[in-house]
Amino acid sequence: MTRLHILSLSILLFWFISPASAQLPTRIPQFPQGGNRTGGQPTTTGGKGANAGGAILDDSTKMIYGPKTTRYFLESDVFNNRKTLFAIDTTLEGIHQANYVNRNNNLYVDLGYLGTALRPVYYQTPGIGSQTGLSAYGLYGYQTQTVRYFDTRSPYTNMDLVLGGLGQNIINFDFTQNVHARWNLGFNLQRMTSDDLFPARVATNTGTQRLTENWNFVVHTNYRSRNDKYTLLAHYNNINHRSVDKGELIEPSDTSTVANTNLERKPVLTGAKSHEVRNDLHLYQQYVLDTAFQIYNTIDFRAQSYRFTDTELASGFRSDLDRKTFYPRVYFDTLETRQTTLFRLLENQIGIKGQFSTRGSAFNYRAWLRNRYYGYTNKFNVGRFLPDSSFKSSRLETFVGGWLGYYFPDSLTRATAEVEYLVGRDFRLQGRLESRLLTAGYESVFASPTLIQTRYISNMYQWDHQDRLSSRFDLRGTQHAYGQLNVKLGKLALSPGLDYYLLTNYIYFDTAGVPQQLSSAFSILRTSLEFRFSAGKFTALGQAYYTLVSNGDVLRIPTLLGNLRLEYNFLLFKKLYVLAGFQFHYKSAYYADQYMPLTQQYHLQNETRLGDYIMAEPFANFRINRVRLFVKMANANQGLFNQFYYSAPYFRTANRAISFGVHWLLFD
């Protein structure tokens, strides 16, 4: 191990044992046409390409190791027989997007602070088969399909540190190295913390009370045989997320007396906490008998546990509020509640696939059989001398499916179709056409309700829509047609799009937080526009969405949502590359859903309408050699003119704060 790696590990250890220790997530979604720290071939932003910043030199001053000698690929590339090795991204664009909401182009919302429960702004097509429905914290971890597998000529280290202001801190450490030319090993370690600015009690002298705390660890490996017939990809993923749950933050009656401070905001829940742990062991292997005939196998073992405790239950039934109490009722224990939900899944998929070419065209095909066996346990207040408060369920599910792809001779156009059927129940059909000018498709999905929608027993909620063999809720239907054009007009790139959804048997959580199924159908129409304009060193890029929902009583979506970023790049002192600008976000007013931490679900509310607002954030990104840095003023206009912006009902977005980040790549 080199001195640089010893120094790197020392820095990492220091940050992990300090109060400001944190984690940088692996998912960094792209702004329209923009760069990111994980994606694609790097582009130049005021630099000299992928090797900008120098490289390791040998005695003859030749550059040996750098971004071009460390490559990665995704499992989907191998699975679809189009394995591509991507170079490490060294661009400046987008590195200031340290917050998870920003990284997802504001298409998710949280409770105002890093690590709090997330939900998508727009409707998402559900997956088929039994799902838990517990997904509020899933995005804070590595996702199976985005785990990167490497092929390196030297040890590769990636370090990220973000000090987000107001106690919101993130750190990420990645290391990988080839054991030999065909076998690579590596790991990713992430840490994220957010301080509680509104504690129910005064913090003790042991330090600041945490609002959220997250650990995520992934160890990954990939191997291929000498003749490239056999390929193995595997990883183990552990997510450990803790959160202090406020329920709501009570505002003072006269907000003008508080101005831009937080001193008088108090939580409704004073003893509530949640803890989620996920473990995922994933293995993919394939054997190539012939290009046209390959055998593959995927094995997953997943374990998820969600524990919610409230040791001061009376605070959730406060009577001094001018609105309904936070909890709807209590069935057994009036002092405390301790809820546990456990989910275990073993999934095995085996299939055949292949590709063949004729007259410049190419065909891909897949056919598979997938078996899933899950166990689900729900219990509360065990040992509190209550009636039997637990239930268990399990099921074996069998899926059959097929996929077909046709690649046109121009190599830029392809058409794909996929069908999958859960025997006796769910169904999914998808078709898609992709070309240089147009992307269009259609999907039809009939999916079971989630496990938490079907049955739930707790101290405050109880419902049961489960028959002996199936749910009394009908299958949720989604018909989705979409299209997007890609138009280039000189220096302006435009991508107008259209999405149309027809939903049947839609399941939602009502104002009391209880699942209900709508018998009638309704539709969603969303138009969108992505653009990018570049002229010299100036760039403007953004997104805009306009959405109409035919039944706003059960699904609330802002009519307008927009993102805009203006940036300018230049060079200082012949070595310091700078990308500076402003970014803006806008949502129109709507009755956003409220969060219930007991069930980890967002539900309808009619009490408070979130006002429309424009959030502005100035930023500056820098690069010198292999080190990239950024400075950003997050939520710069929060509190100005006594205006406060809310990400969820009763939860303001964080006050303006200076955030700082550094990203360091090592290739030896």
Q: pLDDT tens, 299-341?
A: 999 999 999 999 999 998 887 667 788 999 998 889 999 999 9
pLDDT of residue 469: 58
Quick one: how far is CA 291 from the chain centroid? 35
pLDDT value of residue 194:
94
249-254 mean pLDDT: 71
pLDDT at 97 over 50: yes
**Interval 476-532: pLDDT, tens:** 999 999 999 999 999 999 999 999 999 999 999 999 999 999 999 999 999 999 999
CB crowding 450-461: b at 16 or more within 10 Å, else e: bbbbbbbbbbbb
Distances (CA, A) of 140 to 99, 134, 212, 242: 11, 13, 11, 11
Confidence of residue 98 (pLDDT cuts 50, 70, 90): confident
Averaged confidence pLDDT in the chain: 86
Helix (H) or strand (E) holding 405: strand 391-407
Predicted pLDDT of residue 301: 97
Dist CA 633 CA 80 (whole Å):
42
Please check whether residue 497 is in contact with residue 484, taking contact to mean a CB–CB distance below 8 angstroms: yes
How is the chain split into domains, by residue range? 3-666
State the pLDDT at residue 24. Answer: 31
- Say yes or no to pLDDT of 99 above 50: yes
Confidence of residue 66 (pLDDT cuts 50, 70, 90): confident
Split at pLDDT 50, 70, 90, the class of 580 is very high
pLDDT value at 121 more than 90: yes
Is pLDDT above 90 for 260? no
* Strand ranges in 291-390 using DSSP code E only, listed in sequence order: 293-310, 337-358, 361-380
For residue 553, pLDDT beyond 60? yes
pLDDT band at 444 (very low <50, low <70, confident <90, very high): very high
Look at residue 83 in the predicted model and tell me its pLDDT: 77
pTM tops 0.75: yes
Give yes or no for a contact between 115 and 243, defined as CB atoms under 8 angstroms apart: yes
The residues facing 438 across adjacent strands are 485
**What's the DSSP call for residue 656?**
P
Structure tokens at 151: 């092929």
Mean pLDDT for 537-566 is: 97
> Token pair of 453, please?
């929608």
Query: How far out from the chain centre does Cα 424 lie?
Result: 31
**Is pLDDT larger for residue 187 or for residue 35?**
187
Q: What's the mean pLDDT in 65-85?
A: 87
Of the pLDDT bands very low, low, confident and very high (cuts 50, 70, 90), residue 264 is: low
Mean pLDDT computed over 230-240: 97
Q: Are strands 594-596 and 601-603 parallel, antiparallel or unpaired?
A: antiparallel
Task: Give the pLDDT band of residue 384 (cuts 50, 70, 90).
Answer: confident
**Does the pLDDT of residue 265 top 80, yes or no?**
no
Q: Which amino acid is at 377?
A: T
Burial class (CB in 10 A: 0-12, 13-18, 19+), 52: buried
Report d(CA 431, CA 107) in Å as an integer: 24
Residue 365 has pLDDT above 90, yes or no: yes
Alpha-carbon distance of 192 to 26, in angstroms, equals 12
SS3 assignment, position 387? coil
Burial class for 444, CB neighbours closer than 10 Å (0-12, 13-18, 19+): middle
> Which region among 10-19, 196-205, 244-253, 280-289 has the lowest average model confidence (pLDDT)?
10-19
Q: How confident is the model at residue 668 (pLDDT cuts 50, 70, 90)?
A: confident
Per-residue pLDDT band at 43 (split at 50, 70, 90) = very low
pLDDT at 231: 96
Asked if pLDDT for residue 90 goes beyond 90, the answer is no
Instruction: Report, as an integer, the average pLDDT of 358-366.
Output: 88
Is the per-residue pLDDT at 385 higher than 80? no
- Please state, in angstroms and rounded to a whole number, the distance separating the CA atoms of residues 337 and 272: 9
pLDDT at residue number 149: 95
What superfamily would CATH give domain 3-666? TonB-dependent receptor, beta-barrel domain (2.40.170.20)
User: Residue 14 has what pLDDT?
Assistant: 39
Q: Is the pLDDT of residue 450 over 60?
A: yes
The proportion of the chain whose per-residue pLDDT surpasses 70, expressed as a percent, equals 86
- Weakest-pLDDT range from 27-31, 357-361, 418-422, 663-667: 27-31
Radius of gyration of the chain (CA): 26
Residue 58: the pLDDT is: 44
Task: Give, in order, the Cα–Cα distances in Å from 568 to each of 199, 380, 541, 626.
Answer: 41, 55, 12, 21
